[in-house]
Structures are given as C-alpha cells and as structure tokens.
Amino acid sequence: MTGEPLPAGPEVIKAFARTLPSAPGVYRMIDEAGDVIYVGKARSLKARVTSYTRPERLEVRLQRMIAATRSMEFVRTGTESEALLLEANLIKRLKPRFNILLRDDKSFPYILIATEHEAPELMKHRGIRRRKGHYFGPFASALAVKRTITALQKAFLLRTCSDSFYKARTRPCMLHQIKRCSAPCTGEISIPDYGVLVEEARLFLSGKSKSVQDHLARDMNAAAGNLDFERAALLRDRLSALALVQSHGDVAAKSVEEADVFAISHEAGQFCVQVFFFRSFQNWGNHAFRPRADASLGDAEVLEAFISQFYEDRIPPKLVLLSHQPAEHALLEEALSTRAGSRVSVQVPQRGEKRDLVNHALNNAREALGRQLAEGATQKTLLEGVANCFGLDEPPHRIEVYDNSHISGTNAVGAMIVAGEEGLSRKHYRTFNIKSQSLAPGDDFGMMREVLTRRFTRLSAGSLADAEDKATGMPDWPDVVFIDGGQGQLNAVREVIAALNLPREVIFIGIAKGEERDAGREKFFMEGREPFMLPHRDPVLYYVQRLRDEAHRFAIGTHRARRKKDIIRNPLDEIEGIGPARKRALLQHFGSAKAVSRASLADLTQIPGVSGQMAQLVYDHFNRSK
C-alpha cells in the first residue's frame, strides 16, 4: 500500500516547534528517505527551530535544507556546552550532508611510557587510553613517533619490547649491545636504577628538558674528572640523543609550552585547516585537513565547527590558538574545558610569538590549499581524458584497479585500489585473501574471478547503486574497472558480471603489458572494441600506468606481509592443543622453539603444566620423520 506523502519542510517544523521547550539541546532534521540531513545545537530549542519556519529570510543553503525536511528529532541537554559536545558527536557519526564535515579524520599517535610493569615500556600508542602510564602527544605522524622513540632509546636506554618478550629473556638482546636498552630483563641494571631512567624520560617529555640535560652534563663532567671515561662517553651519547630530539621541529616555541594551533584558508569553494601540535616547547608536527562545507560559509564558522568535531574524541591541550575569532568563543572554551577536565584557553592572538605561530600555520594552510587546487585541476583534466579515450559518457567519479600477487599460488592475495576526483583514495583500498581450495597454483584467471565475485556480490547486496561515502563524496560503485591482464582476464570478468546481473553498468577494461613488458606499449581490451593502444606520450596513458603500478605495489606489499607473517610463525603454533600458557612454559624452559624440537620426551614431561599426553604430542610433532 502506498502511503500518503509526508508534509513538507516548513509545515513539519512548525508542528514540532509548538511543543518544544525553551531549553538547550540538539535537533536533527530528517529527509524523506529517513536520513539525517542536518544536526544542530541550540541554547533554546524552541527559538532556534522556530527561526526555520520563515525560510524566505534565510540563505539558499538553509532553504534547501528546510525544503528537504520531513521529520525532526530532539535531545534535551543540561547546558549549551553539553549540547555542543553532543552535536559534534552526532555529526561525526551521522555525517549529515548539510553540516560542515571533518574529512580525513585520523587518530594521531602518542608516545606512552606504560607503568603497569616493574620495568616500564616505551612504546607508540593510538586510540583509547586504556593502559596505565604517561601519554605524550599527539604527534603528526607515525614516522615522527618512531624517530623520537629511537632517539629516546639512545638517550634513556628504556626497553621497547613486549612484556612477554621481556619475561622470556635469559640474556640481553641486540638492543642492549647497540646501547639502546639498559636490559633490566636480565639484571644488567637494577629496577630502582631503571626507574631513575624512566623518571628522567618522563621529565624530558613533560618539558623539563633543560634540567635533565643539566643533570646529565654534570654527571658526564664528574665521570670524566674521575677518569671514568667509559661512563662519560655513554653520558655524552645520551646528551647527543637528547639534542637530536629537540632539533626536529621546523619552528620553535620559546614561550608556548603546550598548544594546538589552527589556521584556515578558503579558495574556490574549498577549505583547508592546518593544525600544528606544540608540546614541551617543541613542534611535534602538523597535519592538513580538508573539511567538507558549503562554499557560502565563512572561515570562522567552518573553523569553529571543525574544532568541535576535532576534539570530540581527543583531549584538548591547555591552550588552543586560532586564526579566526569564533562566534561563540566562551561556549567553545567551556565545551573544551569540559572535555579536558581542566581549564582550556581559546585565543586568537594579535601579536607576539603566538601570532607568529598562527601566521606560520596560516601560510601552510594557504600553500596546502594551493597544491590541492592545482592537483584537482590536473586530476579533472585526466579524468576527462579517460572519458574521451575509452568512450565514456562522462568523466568517471570512481576508478577501481585490481591485481593479484602470489608465489606459485602460496599466500595469494587480490588487491583493489581506488582513484577519483581528488586522486588516489587510500581510505577505500581493499585486499582479498584468496580462499578457494580448488584453484590450481598460479591460476590468475580463477583468482580474479574470486576477487570480483566477492567484491560485486557484497556491493550489490549492501548498497544502493547511487550510494556514496558521506565524508568524502566518493561513490560506492565504480564507473570504470581496470584489470591487470589481457583478453583472457577480461573474459573471466565477463563471466562473473553476467552471473551477478549488476544493478548498474560498470565499464571493464583489461590492460595487457607491451612486448617485452615495455611500458608505453600497453594494449587495452574492452567489450565491443578491437584491442587498441594509446599514443606513446598521451597523459592518459601515463595516468593509467600509474594506477596499474599502484595496484601492483599494493598487491605485492600485502602479499609480502602475509608471507613474512608465515615465515616468522612459531612452530609451536602448528601443534593442536598448545595454547599461549603452555607455549610460554615451553619457551621459558627451553629458550626457543628449536630447543623444544630437540628435547627428549623425558625432558618435556618435566615441565610444569605439560601433561604426559601433551608432551607426547609435542614430541611426535617434531619427530615424525624419525
């Protein structure tokens, strides 16, 4: 039965506004399909929603939003700052199309000194702070964390091994030999003395670097004065490592101990927000974000919405510096302070070092946006060229490229890369572990058949033909699919597609390598066309080559990771019934899996927790041939 059409925007909003309280809260506007199209917060729900009942007074963007509204939902909150935090949470989760969206969201890495163990571990950390210890960050990239941890190992000789590895050691590992660990695992340093190193590292990362360096310098001079040149040399190397940690930033902060610096640039309808992280008076890196927002919005409005979402799942620092004044400055401060559990100051500096830091971030935002616009123009031209060369009705919005990788059929994987209007979209890359047991080793046709069957079966069952990623605008369905292979691969693809009966048309193109695998002599295969080649210097040819090479790189990288995992797999894992506890007992007693393999049955039965039956099982596993 067909239901009556839902009442349109203004009428719906008027009906809801009559019963709303004059209290803070969050409202959601919902369209005919049941999707949330806008999330907003208000000091007074009644006043804010009533303002939407006169759309002729509002800007065009809001008029379109109101016209699309068919229902509304509301949540009342205790304060307006609570409403702001809830609004940011819902926007990140629901991604309404009329809101400003934080795209390219990522979790930034931290350095953690985990204090759960008697000998604390130095490590990289992402995500929720579940482990007990001291967290330092965020850092802009995993590379920056790795580089800093390496320098901290040299400076403070803290262990980076796991607790299980620590427990199983009977002699110092290689890191101790190259002077990157003090080896508390084997008693090369006492636990109290190791605790002194941990405290020095904590003070250094907390901004007390000058006192730590002065202390090490005094100890070095005293050791040299006592003719203990070996210890003096060790302290000298530690001081050099500390200097290396402090030299990584390209811009220093003499008066700003802890702050996040935000600057926004806007051009040609696109926005770029540059974020710099300063901790312990050091620049710990920066990252460029490209929020999705209507071009009619102002920089301050976009930046304010961006910051609310940025700190939805992050702890703000004591100081947040902005390039533009937010309209609700006091409310933003209150919300961030609530999120941090302590006072957070939001400032738009006008002079001094803080203003210099903001200007530095602003220049970086403008340069990043300029590069983005230049690359976007080039990408648009390339996609138009793809449409012309391959006879498409319009430039493709999503291109997928597939490749397989294996060695004689072992560790076989399929890989899919994705490109669109903004270039390569690594967020949408996928890998497929080849599962079929009936495939002959090295059957590339069968592997491609399995990969595409799984990909398009899932796509047909799980999404509409016009669905897209709300955060990035990338459609779920490809317009063009490139297959690494010639006519045989393309025929295998046709069989799959014919059997699946896809709800929309997808163009499949095979790429066969040129004679003697010569780049530039690729031959293309399409249904309904004779095989053809593109001109040797055609930019579209170079573009397709890059896509194919990226798919090949991604497939090989995934295959190597699987192969490496298999190579380093412990032989004890292959024995059914050997769990983590028994495995740990065997390794602690014998030292290695190789030693376990050489053990006699009598030796195996002496291990606590290993029964006679289990000892026989282990012995038989390693002595089958005998």
Instruction: Give CB contacts under 8 A, 24+ apart, made by 533-538.
Output: 534/389, 538/385, 538/389
Domain boundary assignment for the chain:
9-94, 110-246, 258-309+317-371, 396-566, 571-622
pTM of this structure: 0.67
Q: Is 285 helix (H, G, I), strand (E, B) or coil?
A: strand
| Distance (Å, whole) CA 332 – CA 176 | 49
The phi and psi torsions of 306 (rounded to 5 degrees) equal -60, -45
In this prediction, residues 557-580 reach a mean pLDDT of: 69
| Distance (Å, whole) CA 423 – CA 547 | 10
Q: 108 to each of 33, 126, 136, 210, 252, how far by Cα in Å? A: 35, 7, 11, 27, 21
Side chain identity at 457, as an amino acid letter? T
pLDDT at 322 over 90: yes
| Distance (Å, whole) CA 276 – CA 256 | 12
pLDDT value for 437: 66
Q: Is 133 helix (H, G, I), strand (E, B) or coil?
A: strand
**Count of residues for the chain?**
626
Question: Please, what sign has the CA dihedral across residues 312, 317, 321, 327?
Answer: positive
Look at 566 and 474; give whichever has higher pLDDT. Answer: 474
* Contacts for 286 with CB less than 8 Å, ≥ 6 apart: 140, 274, 275, 276, 277, 361, 364
pLDDT at 350 over 90: yes
What confidence category does residue 285 fall into, taking pLDDT thresholds of 50, 70 and 90?
confident
In this prediction, residues 573-578 reach a mean pLDDT of: 72
Look at 518 and 183; give whichever has higher pLDDT. Answer: 183
* Tens of pLDDT, residues 122-142: 999 888 788 899 888 788 778
- Residue whose C-alpha is closest to residue 374's, from 451, 457, 270: 270
User: Per mean pLDDT, which range of 435-444, 461-470, 497-506 is the poorest?
Assistant: 461-470
What confidence category does residue 2 fall into, taking pLDDT thresholds of 50, 70 and 90?
very low
Task: Find where tokens 């495939």 sit.
Answer: 439
User: Per mean pLDDT, which range of 63-67, 149-153, 327-331 is the poorest?
Assistant: 149-153
Overall fold of domain 258-309+317-371: Nucleotidyltransferase; domain 5 (3.30.420)
pLDDT at 480 over 90: yes
pLDDT value for 609: 78
Looking at residue 2, the DSSP 8-state letter turns out to be P
pLDDT at 409 over 60: no
What confidence category does residue 514 fall into, taking pLDDT thresholds of 50, 70 and 90?
low
| Distance (Å, whole) CA 472 – CA 102 | 9
- Residue whose C-alpha is closest to residue 37's, from 73, 12, 7: 73
Q: CB–CB of 262/323 below 8 Å? A: yes
SS (H, E, C) 392-408: CCCCCCEEEEEEEEEEC
Query: Which CATH code fits 571-622?
Result: 1.10.150.20
User: Per mean pLDDT, which range of 31-45, 56-70, 96-110, 511-525 is the poorest?
Assistant: 511-525
* Tens of pLDDT, residues 219-243: 788 877 777 777 777 777 777 766 6
pLDDT value for 569: 58
* Tens of pLDDT, residues 383-398: 999 999 999 889 999 9
For the chain, give the mean pLDDT: 83
- DSSP codes, 84-112: HHHHHHHHHHH--TTS-B--S--PPPEEE
The pair of three-digit structure tokens given for residue 178, joined into one six-digit string: 């190259």
Look at 408 and 312; give whichever has higher pLDDT. Answer: 312
Q: 9-94 and 258-309+317-371: same fold?
A: no
Task: Give the percent of the chain with pLDDT over 70.
Answer: 88
Q: CB–CB of 392/475 below 8 Å? A: no
9-94 carries CATH number 3.20.20.150 = no
pLDDT at 442 over 70: no
Q: CB–CB of 467/511 below 8 Å? A: no
pLDDT value for 418: 93
The pair of three-digit structure tokens given for residue 586, joined into one six-digit string: 């065997």
- Residue whose C-alpha is closest to residue 296's, from 10, 37, 68, 64: 64
The pair of three-digit structure tokens given for residue 238, joined into one six-digit string: 């530690």
Q: 591 to each of 174, 270, 585, 596, 616, how far by Cα in Å? A: 16, 59, 10, 8, 19
pLDDT at 247 over 60: no
Overall fold of domain 396-566: Nucleotidyltransferase; domain 5 (3.30.420)
In this prediction, residues 181-201 reach a mean pLDDT of: 90
| Distance (Å, whole) CA 294 – CA 310 | 18
Look at 406 and 547; give whichever has higher pLDDT. Answer: 547
pLDDT value for 241: 64
| Distance (Å, whole) CA 10 – CA 186 | 74
pLDDT at 165 over 90: no
User: Per mean pLDDT, which range of 28-42, 300-314, 589-603 is the poorest?
Assistant: 589-603
Q: CB–CB of 470/95 below 8 Å? A: yes
